[in-house]
Structure 1
């Protein structure tokens, strides 16, 4: 039997999420079974899975047997280029090809490497996500209060997200607003796919993307893309569905052209999608904070001509 006192790192957290962190390796179904059976107590009383914990609460956790796991490779400590940092949050420039967190065949990502590099940090959590192939602005919270406040902003669409995307061909100047519903599905192998469907589809979500031409290269167009909704793969699917897939996109792109570009003199082997600007309100001061990440060197070289 363990008794854990809730500190600042867990203040405001749901009981189920707290237990999943404390009981790493224990299946979710078992954790919820313990809660329903009343074996987990908060301040000596029964509690629900969605109970919010307060600073100083005592959580009684019953003994649980955890299956022996194969030792994983150690997570390397790594810092990333810092765009902004204070006692509330950390904003970094994530490189392409690095996942934001481990899972689904990925041993570790940005968050695990940063925690390893900052062992003194009592709290460090991702505020939002970027695809592994996408580079650019990524926000992490250093306090739970900052995390919940920022996540509310992202959920309520009160943030300004602008991406740089290079697409094949000549993007039509008049196409500035894409308002298409998106449907997320899983294939037989459990891989996620997103496609455009009619607006009336019951399981689809309305998705809005704003597009502005930044530079025309002849063979491709550099776009400034602002999303008003944060759907999975929204930019990639919206642009591809309008006949201009993102250069290098391995899932929704032009695979033949991607291969030619990777093997040709330019040797560009990644997806050209970069989260270049993110604007939000600082969780403590309420001031507008705009963080920008310049295009990576390989992207600058590709668009220089």
Structure 2
């Protein structure tokens, strides 16, 4: 398990000079084979990333994600029109579009071709004015799902350059992958977790949002 910092891409390409995948060379076996990625986080998202040491393990873990047996929990700091309720589920299909040569996800209108079912459980842990700390548990794994759902709800994540106001609201994307529970090849389930980094905690506290212990 790796605790990925915000700003580090998981994979290379598109002009990215350094990625987590590149750094995995340091953990290569004597035969030169390095650990394999089995899932991804957006570049700006910090937190839990797991990798597999063998090809069979990578196939097993990939199947766990594909079958939605991996339980993922995120924290996000948002601003805007906050829900009146304390918890609920965002149940809006998403569709991928190209804008300015970059892919992004939009809430799909009824009957929109290419719309994919997307579910994100949410709970507000703290709120102060127009700001809130959300705990989010995506049940599906669409690209940018949490970011698009929060924008659709009227409260985009701070620091989100694609779905929010970017650096005008925060120096980093205020989204953190807090934990991941997943089945392992030996038949057990394991919970991997990473505490929010200092940059995340400080920003939340400046806004009057207390993080849970």
Q: TM-score, normalised by structure 1?
A: 0.64
Change (3 A) 1:145 1:276: same
**1:115 and 2:25 are equivalent in the alignment:** yes
Query: Which residue of structure 1 lines up, in the alignment, with residue 195 of structure 2?
Result: 294
Query: Which residue of structure 1 lines up, in the alignment, with residue 15 of structure 2?
Result: 105
Q: Distance in 2 between matches of 1:295 and 1:110?
A: 19
Query: Which residue of structure 1 lines up, in the alignment, with residue 57 of structure 2?
Result: 146
**1:214 and 2:116 are equivalent in the alignment:** no
**1:176 and 2:88 are equivalent in the alignment:** yes
Select the residue among 97, 101, 114 that pairs with 1:185: 97
Structure 1 residue 219, shift from structure 2 partner: 3.8
Contact 2:88-2:122 within 8 A present in 1 as well:
yes
Query: Which residue of structure 2 lines up, in the alignment, with residue 253 of structure 1?
Result: 164
Q: Distance in 1 between matches of 2:128 and 2:194?
A: 22
Query: Which residue of structure 1 lines up, in the alignment, with residue 70 of structure 2?
Result: 159
**1:125 and 2:36 are equivalent in the alignment:** yes
Q: Distance in 2 between matches of 1:169 and 1:212?
A: 16
Higher relative contact order (CA closer than 8 Å, sequence separation 6+): 2
Structure 1 residue 217, shift from structure 2 partner: 2.7
Q: Distance in 2 between matches of 1:155 and 1:147?
A: 12
How many correspondences in the alignment?
A: 204
Structure 1 residue 119, shift from structure 2 partner: 6.0
Note the alpha carbon deviations across 1:87-108, whole angstroms, 9 max, x for none. Answer: xxxx110000000011011123
Select the residue among 106, 114, 136 that pairs with 1:225: 136
1:24-103 aligned within 5 A:
91-103=1-13
Select the residue among 150, 171, 177 that pairs with 1:275: 177
Contact 2:150-2:156 within 8 A present in 1 as well:
yes
Q: Secondary structure at the match of 1:244?
A: coil
Contact 1:217-1:303 within 8 A present in 2 as well:
no
Structure 1 residue 109, shift from structure 2 partner: 0.3
Unaligned runs of 5+ in 2: 209-213
Q: Distance in 2 between matches of 1:199 and 1:119?
A: 50
| Moved segments of 4+, more than 3 Å | 116-121
Note the alpha carbon deviations across 1:67-103, whole angstroms, 9 max, x for none. Answer: xxxxxxxxxxxxxxxxxxxxxxxx1100000000110
CA RMSD, 1 decimal: 1.7
Structure 1 residue 130, shift from structure 2 partner: 0.6
Q: TM-score, normalised by structure 2?
A: 0.90
Unaligned runs of 5+ in 1: 1-90, 262-267
Structure 1 residue 124, shift from structure 2 partner: 1.2
